[in-house]
Amino acid sequence: MSERSVRSVGPVLLGCLVLTLAAVYFHVTSGEYDMTLTDLFRTLLRIHPQPDYDMVLFEFRLPRIVIALLVGCGLGIAGAGIQGITRNGLADPGILGINAGAGAAIVLFMYLFQGQVIRTGAAAVMTMPIFGLVGGLLAAALIYGFAWYGGRLDPQRLILSGIALGSGFGAMTLFFSLRMNAKDFEMATVWLTGSIWNANWIYAASMLPWFIVLIPVLLLKAHPLDLFQLEEGAVKSLGVHVERDKSIVLLCCVGIVSACVSVSGSIAFVGLLAPHIAKRLVGIRHRRFMPVSGAVGSLMVIISDLIAKTVFAPAELPVGIVISLVGVPYFVYLLFKTRA
């Protein structure tokens, strides 16, 4: 890695921050209830606050923005970790079936409590993320068990097991969703396409412990992730505990992805695109591009959610659909580039 690439990390993160703040500003001030810059500062600084502005800002827009930033950051960093342990640039948290497992558990919750999932009490709000986390961890445990072969975690079996189990969880999701009442079916469909329209502070708080604990662990494993790109025999000769470190990285990625899916549904392609963009900006060293991948992921989700909220107003698209409109062509491009 050249010295030029090392120096570029700071400016890249600063650029992502500036673009993110610009997107946050437009996100806060635009919508069905417009706010001026003066209104925004008066509300934030508590200068003659008005109840209408307080409700719009603190109960609807800010929780949605915070969750969009957290989800994008988590998926970006987890995607970088998954691509590192699989040595596959086309790997994505969704491919491993984690999204499908969490989504199936949430739909099961909706099916069991039909007509009650729209309640706004704290207990009802917290139950769905818990179901999502349990579903994601169950999917990860099954994938891990199938991928463990010959005393080690096989990257190819990991991908294949994820695809197979993802299909199974998808079938389970379809089965339960078709047996729901109309309102819950509509809510489940929006959730599974990736949406943060129902964001609140309890959802954001439920994600923070996972991020605070797991993201630093992933960043500490940046050097082993660099070494994993070499042949396994060479990595072991360097004294690296390959299987232990792979297991730690995988479990951290699973926890982060499950926390994200539990509050936002299945938002695809962020874990695929963000690491690739970060590598192009700052190089392939995980210590450098993983934080940038998180920043790029946050920028992707907040801009996509802004587009989903404003471009098609008064209708609103799930943010997962907007990201997929960009992600699918880029995935095809990467696929042909890899074959070439």
Instruction: Count the domains in the chain.
Output: 1
What's the CATH number where 155 sits?
1.10.3470.10
According to DSSP, the residues that pair with 153 across neighbouring strands are 148
Q: Is pLDDT of 13 > 80?
A: yes
Q: Are residues 89 and 278 in contact, defined by beta-carbon separation less than 8 angstroms? A: no
Distance CA 233, CA 230 (A): 8
Distance CA 230, CA 236 (A): 10
Among 158-172, 181-195, 286-300, the range with the most confident prediction by mean pLDDT is 286-300
Please report the pLDDT score of residue 162 as a whole number.
Answer: 84
CB count within 10 Å of CB 43 equals 20
User: Who wins on pLDDT, 302 or 238?
Assistant: 302
Q: What b-and-e string marks burial along 169-189, b requiring 16 or more CB atoms within 10 Å of the CB?
A: bbebbeebbeebeeebbebbe
Q: Is pLDDT of 3 > 50?
A: no
- Burial label for 217, CB within 10 Å (0-12, 13-18, 19+), is middle
> What's the predicted TM-score (pTM) here?
0.87
By residue range, what is the domain housing residue 199?
3-339
